[in-house]
Chain A
Amino acid sequence: MRYDQARWSEADHYEPLLIEKRSETVEIEDSPLPDDLTREELTMPSPAEPELARHYTRLSQETYGVDSGPVPLGSCTMKYNPSLLEAVAADENAAVHPDRPEESVQGTLEIMATLQDWLGRIGGMDAVTLQPPAGAAGEYTGLLIAKAYHESRGEDRSEVLIPDSAHGTNFASAAMAGFEVVELPSGEDGRVDLDALTAAVGDETAALMLTNPNTLGLFERDIDEIAEIVHDAGGLLYYDGANLNALLGQARPGDMGFDIMHYNVHKTFATPHGGGGPGAGPVGVTADLAPFLPRPHVRESEGEYELYDPERSIGKVHGYQGNWLVLLKAYAYIRRLGDAGLAETSRKAVLNANYLAERIDFEIPYGPFHHEFVASAGDRDAANVAKHMLDRGVHPPTTKWPELVDEALMVEPTEAESKETLELLADAFDAASNADPDTLESSPHRTTARRIDQVEAARSPRLSWRALEDS
């Protein structure tokens, strides 16, 4: 299939900036405030509504989303977002102020209480908070809970263990929470090396953060032993839920010995990624850790729903209750699928990844993998492979990461793609595999913009239209 992305262009730019179309400067005078409390003037773009509509319609056309074609970004779970989710989130009754008293927002609290319960069942966790607004915020929340838990036992544990294949957020969240990061080298099979783990754990171990299946798509088969080693040392086991889509209905983190986990509802539960967010990162914990959850928590009592502060709450991790509209969409997705649909999701996601892997020419060094796999571009530059794939009307995989694989191409097709779309993706991989180095280097051609010089953009940062005028 031939692909050309929309492109509105002039000699030196594409769709102009709004400020270049129509700019307006207003002097602040005769305002209801004394002059010394106001600014002097304000300059902003001031398009008429038809201009505004065309501007943003064009910008949308210059943007590639899941509704444009497949986006097999590894560890991002870019599945199709059912339209139903947007429809339910538009309900007028969902548009409530967060300081409304409990008795006047029973509907909102009921949705939240039910979602807490569902997520608990899906993850095998005893209690769930919906407050963290993203996956990384969930990690941070989980680590604050771990810290508070250890402190409640009179222990000051300073280290968090993280495998070298883990998501970058794990390391950053642990550091932000004041822990020292101990990086665990992966074993030759791409999984946690039990000897390395045994050598690393000790009295200072607050937690081990683990993604399972890990970022290579591999299930940590030794999870029972891993849990035992960490628990015997007095540490907690944290589950990074980024790859939960692989296990829905097949296995549960709680049953594997995990004490804390976060869910990425924008991945696993199909809420749209919105060009970078909002998502939501609910956190589930075992009963022992439930008293430490953020406040307030929602619970049901005799048919009514109420907010309460868990006994030893770590306090707040978001100014209010997190990304409510995103949570509402996740509720709709889970209700629509139910038990059978959720289990079918993981089966199909794993089937799709395995089928696509069979169909492409690149080497895949580690297996057996589940919902995602990491191929190696070998002697080709993975970034160039990706740029070439863009010209085939598909979004390329995550590139150059995890570093365990040379020139990594991290692929997660999700359950949403049909066999035909997987063939389209495979063709795009093959085209890149067969292209000569010069062609790869010069790609892409059919996207809105040609190859962008990232180095130059970072060397002389221009981050606003003011900076453009100044340069």
Chain B
Amino acid sequence: MLETIGVEDESELFDVPESIRFEGAFGIDSQDERGTAREIEQVLSRNDETASFLGRGHYAHHVPAVVERLSARSEFLTSYTQYQPEVAQGFLQALFEYQSMLVELTGLDVANSSMYDRATALGEAATLATRVRETSGSRVLVPELLREEQREVLENYAIGAGLDVEAYPSDDGNADLEALTATIDDDVVMVYAENPTVRGTIEEQLAEIGDLADGHDALFCLGSDPVALALLEEPASVGADVVVGDAGALGLGHAYGMSHGLFATRESFLRQVPGRLVGAGTDGSGRRAYTLTLQTREQHIRQERATSNICTNQAWVALRTAIHAAWLGADGLVELAEEAVRAPKALAARVDDIAGIDAPVHDRHHFREFLARTDRPAPAVRDDLRDRGYAVHALDGDHLQLCVTDVNEHATDGLVGALSEVA
């Protein structure tokens, strides 16, 4: 090969000035395959074995084995963005089906094929709001209980769009509609609400929030996830303009916060949607075929006038979500969601029976998780539970938060026992 090129050594191919050539060493030792695997296994074994009752935005449901097996098909894993659709029909169709499922779940017209996560999807929603609004505005309203991390991501997206993020008060876990009514004005471009909320309560006044936003020409953005959407009020029916959320709640399980963001909206905002969209078209044989479409919205064509800078996204996780949802089917999805209402209710009742704890704190319906009030300081209770092998959230002062799904339900007896000892 060197001879064909006409050089004696590869180093001659580098047109790099001597002054900046790297002559040092990184000091990174190489390991063979077995050694690398063993090292990682040993390091990761330093993670404690814990029965996790953590939620607050990152959820796990049992991922069926078939999701692992099919998503690991190496054609899926090793392909990239479908710039040549004729040779990528399979992945395109899988993403088209993912988009279609999100359309069913949200009742909205359009879903993109993935964002990075819920927080960045929320940021994208805010910038979309500024683009589709006829008059300019500068305020984005979010629940005061929104995770601080998500609010910070939103603020970082809002900087460039000249938006200020402000919190509106909560009432027993849900949106305080009166307070929201008092603070909203025509300078608001978007109102964000979550269903379920980060505390697991189910919103009861979504349509009212939607009307309120609509009355000020503000977008109503709703945060949710595909399991909750299978049972709770359909976003389109309560006036949601955009739905964002954690779609990885189906298909991925706990991955230290890695997930993928769902993003769905109305057809009228189609040309302002961020990210990849797969559409159906026709090929030279007259058959239905799929392709990335409306690419003139995107950075590789539109550069600084693009709707977003996103290029690489979370497509493979979206594939897993679609396989998981299809495996469950309509019946299985609804059943899983109903169980996510029953399980926390049952656990809260048992926790409430323990002396020194009241649960649930909020007089609401709950989804997956709920708050409990402890007589002892909550962080101390949390630490004692940790010593017994259970992970729970301790919020400010005397509040614990517990999340229960099909992956940890088997451990609830143990948790209740441990709580009885430490409460």
Once A42-B230, A450-B284 are accepted as A-B contacts, the answer to whether A88 and B37 lie under 8 Å apart by CB is: yes
A279-B311 Cα distance, complex, nearest whole Å: 10
Per-residue contact bits, chain B 1-37, to A (CB 8 Å; 1 contact, 0 not)? 1101101001101111101111001111111110011
Report, nearest first, the 9 A-B pairs whose CB atoms are least far apart. Answer: A320-B257, A338-B30, A274-B316, A46-B329, A457-B281, A276-B315, A450-B284, A62-B90, A319-B119
Name the residue of chain B whose CB is nearest to the CB of A95. Answer: B254
Query: Contact check: which of A46, A314, A450, A457 meets B293 at CB < 8 Å?
Result: A457
Once A275-B82, A449-B86, A452-B283 are accepted as A-B contacts, the answer to whether A464 and B100 lie under 8 Å apart by CB is: yes
Once A318-B119, A332-B36, A448-B87 are accepted as A-B contacts, the answer to whether A276 and B113 lie under 8 Å apart by CB is: yes
Residue A154 at the chain B interface, CB threshold 8 Å: no
Q: Which residues of B contact A34 (CB under 8 A)?
A: 365
Residue A157 at the chain B interface, CB threshold 8 Å: no
Contact A24 B89, beta carbon cutoff 8 Å:
no
Residue A87 at the chain B interface, CB threshold 8 Å: yes
Sample (5) of A-B pairs whose CB atoms are under 8 Å apart: A31-B334, A36-B233, A100-B47, A319-B259, A452-B291
Q: What is the total number of residues of chain A having a CB less than 8 Å from a CB of chain B?
A: 189
Contact B28 A335, beta carbon cutoff 8 Å:
yes
Segment of A128-136, A198-206, A283-291, A429-437 engaged in the interface with chain B: A128-136
Once A91-B40, A351-B1 are accepted as A-B contacts, the answer to whether A176 and B46 lie under 8 Å apart by CB is: no
Contact B10 A13, beta carbon cutoff 8 Å:
no
Contact A341 B30, beta carbon cutoff 8 Å:
yes
Q: Which residues of A contact B284 (CB under 8 A)?
A: 442, 450-452
Contact B43 A101, beta carbon cutoff 8 Å:
no
Residue B176 at the chain A interface, CB threshold 8 Å: no
A71-B172 Cα distance, complex, nearest whole Å: 55
Query: Contact check: which of A45, A124, A272 meets B77 at CB < 8 Å?
Result: A272
Q: Which residues of A contact B96 (CB under 8 A)?
A: 17, 463-465
Instruction: Name A385-418 residues within 8 Å CB distance of B.
Output: 386-387, 390, 395-396, 398-399, 401
Residue A153 at the chain B interface, CB threshold 8 Å: no
Residue B368 at the chain A interface, CB threshold 8 Å: no
Q: Which residues of A contact B266 (CB under 8 A)?
A: none
Report the minimal beta-carbon distance from A467 to chain B, rounded to whole angstroms: 8
A370-B162 Cα distance, complex, nearest whole Å: 41
Instruction: Name B252-304 residues within 8 Å CB distance of A.
Output: 253-260, 270, 276-291, 293-296, 298-304
A424-B53 Cα distance, complex, nearest whole Å: 54
Query: Contact check: which of B33, B75, B77, B231 meets A39 at CB < 8 Å?
Result: B231
Q: Which residues of B contact A150 (CB under 8 A)?
A: none
A251-B47 Cα distance, complex, nearest whole Å: 36
A47-B70 Cα distance, complex, nearest whole Å: 15
Q: Which residues of A contact B294 (CB under 8 A)?
A: 458, 461
If over half of A's interface residues share one DSSP class (helix, strand or loop), that class is named, otherwise mixed; here it is mixed
Instruction: Name A310-342 residues within 8 Å CB distance of B.
Output: 314-326, 328, 331-332, 334-342
A348-B5 Cα distance, complex, nearest whole Å: 13
Contact A328 B254, beta carbon cutoff 8 Å:
no
Query: Contact check: which of A13, A105, A458 meets B288 at CB < 8 Å?
Result: A13
Residue B310 at the chain A interface, CB threshold 8 Å: yes
Residue B127 at the chain A interface, CB threshold 8 Å: yes
Once A250-B16, A355-B5 are accepted as A-B contacts, the answer to whether A176 and B309 lie under 8 Å apart by CB is: yes
Assuming A44-B333, A274-B314, A318-B117, what are 8 further A-B pairs, CB within 8 angstroms? Answer: A47-B329, A93-B44, A176-B309, A219-B16, A276-B82, A279-B312, A318-B116, A448-B87
Contact B312 A135, beta carbon cutoff 8 Å:
yes
Residue A188 at the chain B interface, CB threshold 8 Å: no
Query: Contact check: which of A47, A58, A177, A339 meets B90 at CB < 8 Å?
Result: A58
Contact B66 A277, beta carbon cutoff 8 Å:
no
Instruction: Name A16-62 residues within 8 Å CB distance of B.
Output: 17-19, 24-26, 28, 31-34, 36-40, 42-47, 49, 52-53, 55-62
Q: Which residues of B contact A17 (CB under 8 A)?
A: 93, 96-97, 100
Segment of B149-157, B183-191, B212-220, B412-420 engaged in the interface with chain A: B149-157
Residue B388 at the chain A interface, CB threshold 8 Å: no
Residue A266 at the chain B interface, CB threshold 8 Å: yes
Query: Contact check: which of B113, B234, B257, B329 meets A322 at CB < 8 Å?
Result: B257
Pick from B48, B110, B317 the residue with the most CB of A within 10 Å: B48
Residue B211 at the chain A interface, CB threshold 8 Å: no
Query: Contact check: which of A28, A52, A396, A450 meets B285 at CB < 8 Å?
Result: A450
Residue A194 at the chain B interface, CB threshold 8 Å: no
Segment of A107-115, A231-239, A374-382 engaged in the interface with chain B: A107-115
Q: Which residues of B contact A319 (CB under 8 A)?
A: 57, 117-120, 147, 149-150, 153, 257, 259
